[in-house]
Chains A and B, each alone.
Chain A
Amino acid sequence: MMDTYLETRGREIGQAHKFLGTQPADTWWSQGYGELTKFTNPTILVERDDNGWRLYIGAIPSSRHDPYGAVNRVNIVAESPGRGDDATDAIVRLVDAYLRDIAENREPGEARHALDEAFPEEVVGRLYTDSASTEEVRGRLLIACGSLSPAVSAEDRGDSWIAPVRGEKGRAAFVARVRALVQGELNGAAIFVNVVDDPAAFALRHDDSDLAVLVVDPEEHLSEEPQSLIKKDNRPITTPSPPTPRTSHQPRAQLLIRVLAAALLTLAAVIGLVWWLLSLKGVEAASAPERTSISSPLKPRGGPSLNTSLKTRMDQTGSFSMGWRPGNRRIILIAVSPEC
C-alpha cells in the first residue's frame, strides 16, 4: 500500500513547514535533487528502484497564507515498496494536472483548487497540531486527487529523454513514465526540475536506469519534442591517445645503447688493465733471444701486415691494435675506444 504525506505551513507564527500527521523516514528529495531544483518553485520527482518507488510533488500553491502574507504551498510525498494500485492512479492524476497548471500558467490551477477543497484553512489548522491525523490526511489527499480529470493516456517512450514543460508531448510522455514507474513496469526516474536545463547535466547523472526529464527552459533552447539523453556509457571515449611507438620504444633503445656502450667501456678498461699487466711481463720478455713469425692472409686497413712480427700494443691513436705473443700463444686483442 502506498504511504502518503503532506507538508505545508500553518497560519500561525512558528508553524513552519511540517508534515501533517506522520512524516517520511528521510528527506530523499532534498538529499538527492537539491542541486537540480529550487524547492520553493514547482518540482516533481519520481523514482523507482528494487526497493520500491518514491514521489515528491513540491510547491503547489494554495489559497492559504502564512502570518506574513506569503502563499502557503503544499508538498506531497508518496512512497511504496510495491506496485501501483488505484491510489497511485490518483497520484498520477495530480502529476498530470499540476504539469498542465505550470505549463499553462494557470493560477489558480486545477491542482491548487482540488487541494484547497480538501484542505481548507480550518482543517489544516487542526491537522497541523494533531499528530494522529495520518489517515485523515491520506483520505483527503486521495479525494482531492480523485476529483481531478483522468491523466492523459500515452505510451512510455522507454528511453532517457529531456523536454521542456511547455511541450504537450513531453508532458504526456512524462506522465506515461510516472505511471510506468509507480506501476512497477521499470526502474528509473522521472523528474521535473527548475534550475538546470542543460541535457548534458542529466546525461552525466544517468547510469543504467531510464530517466525522463522535464525542465523549465525559460529561454526556449530546447525543442518541444522530447529529445534523447545520451547515456554516459555511449559517449565517444575521449581518453588520451596511447603513447606513439616511437616515444614508447625510444627509452628502451636508448637504454640498450647505453648498456652496450657501458659494456664496451668496461671491456676496454679490462683490456687496458690486462695489457698493462702484460706490458710489465713484456718488458721482462724483451730480453728473451728468440722470436717466431706467423703468416696470415689478413691485413688490417692501414695497419701492419699480420705476416710481420707484431708489436702488439695499444697504438697512440687508440683505434685498435692486434698482437701475437708467441711466448704466451694465446693473445689476440681488439680494443675499441669509448669515442667510437
Chain B
Amino acid sequence: MSRTSELDFKISMLGPTRVGKTSIVASMLQGGEQLLVGTPVTMRPDDPATERRIALTRQALQGALQAGEFRPGSLQSTNEPDHFKLLLDSGVEGTAIRFDLLDFPGEWLNPATRPSLRQRDWEDCLAFVKQSSVLIVPVDAAVLMEAARQEYRRAWPAILTTDEVRQVAGDWAAGRKAAGNEPATLLFCPVKCEFYFDDNGGRWNKSEELLNRFRDEYGHIIDRVRGEHPGIQQLYCPVDTIGCVELIDSEWIPIQDNVAGWRFEPVFGLRPDALSGRARLRPKGIDDVLAALCRQLLEVRQTAERLDAEEAQQESSRLWKNANRSEGLLRNMKLWITGERKRRKVRAAQFGREAEVMRHRVEAFDKAVEDIAKRPYGRRVRVL
C-alpha cells in the first residue's frame, strides 16, 4: 500500500474551556474559497455532519451578536469531543487531503476538573493529539492584555491552563520526533484580538504588547517544544474570530474559597458600523492559520507522494526488466506457453502508466506547495 493512501492527517486544538476553539474552526471555514486568494487551495467540510456542526457553531456566534453585545462566555462550551472532518483541496486532481480536527472539552486538560468517568475519553483524545501533524493552541488575548495587576497575572496559568498545555504539547513534540522526525507545526493563536490590532476596524495597535505578554506566559511552552523537537515549526498567529466587536468592559472576579483565584469576564460591544447594519462575522488572521496548515499538510503529502512516485518508477523499471529477461530456452518456452511473459509485460506497462501519473501528480504538488510558500504571512504573524 502506498504512503499516500495511508495518510490520515490529524489536527488537535489544545486550550482552556471557552477560549474559542470551536470558533476558530468555524472561522477557518468561513468562505473557505476566498481564504487563500491567489492559490487554487480551498478548504471545506468533508461530510454533512461536519457541515452541520460548523453551521450550528456559526448560528450560535451570530445569535450572540444580535443582542448588541457579545459575551464569549454565553456560548455553550464543548462537553463531548467533536470531530470536524475537513477536506483540503490543493487544486491537484485526485489529491484532496482529508483531515480530522479534534475539539475536546478544555476542562479535561486539567485533572482537577476532568470527571473520572471521562478518563477513557481523555486517553482517546491524547492518543489523537500524539498522532496530529498540527497542534493549534488558542490563547485568550483579553486575559493577557487586561490583567492590569500582578495578582491577576498570577491567575494566568490557571485560567489559560498553560502548565497542562506545556505537558501535552511537550509530549506531542517528543512523539513527533520519535515518529521519525515527522514534520509538524505548532500554531499559537491568540483569539479575541479585535481590540489590540488596528487592521480590522480597531482603533489601537497594541500588538507588540500582546506579543510580549504572550512570550511571558507561553515562553516556557515554546522552549519545551523546541527542546523536544527543534524541527517543529512554531508560529504566532493572532486571530479575530468575530471581527466586528471590541472590548467595552471587563471584570476580574475573585473565586470563592481560592485566595489566588480569579476569573475574567469580558464584555464585547458591537462596533458602530455593525450596530447600524446587520452584524456579520468578519474574521481576520485566520487566513494565516489556514496558510500554515495548508503548507504543513501539502508538504507532508508532497514528500509522501514523491517517495511513492520514486518507488513506483523503480518498480516499473524492475518489472520491465523482468518481463524482457531471457531465462533460457526451456523456461522461455514455459513462459510463452503459460502466458506468463505476456502477463509480465501487461503488468509492467500498467505500472509504468501509474508511475507516470504519480510523477505528474508530484509535479503538480510541487507547484501547489510553491504557490503557498510564495504567499507571505500577514503582518500579525511571527515565527517563534
Contact = CB atoms under 8 A, between A and B. Distances in A.
A237 to B, nearest CB: 26
B105 interface: yes
Given A40-B79, A194-B56, A67 B337 contact: no
B248 interface: no
Contact of B115 (A13, A16, A35, A66): A16
A312 to B, nearest CB: 29
B78 interface: yes
Nearest to B114: A16
A41 B56 contact: yes
Contacts of A24: 117
**Interface residue tally on B, bucketed by range:** 35 or more
Interface stretch (B68-76, B278-286, B295-303): B68-76
A251 B107 contact: no
| Chain A binding surface SS class | loop
A254 B185 CA distance: 58
B337 A262 contact: yes
A24 B255 CA distance: 30
A23 B337 CA distance: 72
**Interface residue tally on A, bucketed by range:** 35 or more
Nearest to A61: B76
Interface string B24-55: 00000000000000000000000011101100
| Chain B binding surface SS class | mixed
A67 B263 CA distance: 9
Contacts of A66: 73, 77
A66 B333 CA distance: 84
A194 B52 contact: yes
Interface string A1-33: 000000000001110111100011011001100
Contact of A34 (B56, B75, B80): B80
Nearest to A18: B115
A4 to B, nearest CB: 15
Contacts of B52: 38, 194-196
A73 interface: yes
A320 interface: no
A259 interface: yes
Contacts of A17: 79, 105, 107, 115
A40 B76 contact: yes
Interface in A71-110: 71, 73, 75
A196 B48 contact: yes
A69 B251 CA distance: 13
Between B17, B79, B120, the greatest number of chain A beta carbons within 10 A of the residue's beta carbon is seen for: B79
A47 interface: no
A33 to B, nearest CB: 10
A195 B49 contact: yes
Interface string A163-194: 00000000000000000000000000000001
Interface string B273-297: 0000000000000000000000000
Interface of A: 12-14, 16-19, 23-24, 26-27, 30-31, 34-36, 38-41, 66-71, 73, 75, 194-198, 201, 251, 254-255, 258-259, 262
29 contacts: A12-B256, A13-B261, A16-B107, A16-B114, A17-B107, A18-B115, A23-B116, A26-B117, A27-B80, A27-B121, A30-B80, A30-B121, A34-B80, A38-B82, A40-B77, A40-B80, A67-B253, A68-B73, A68-B265, A69-B71, A69-B74, A70-B18, A70-B73, A70-B75, A75-B79, A195-B48, A198-B48, A251-B339, A254-B339
Interface of B: 17-18, 48-50, 52-53, 56, 71-83, 105, 107, 112-118, 120-121, 253, 255-256, 261, 263, 265, 333, 336-339
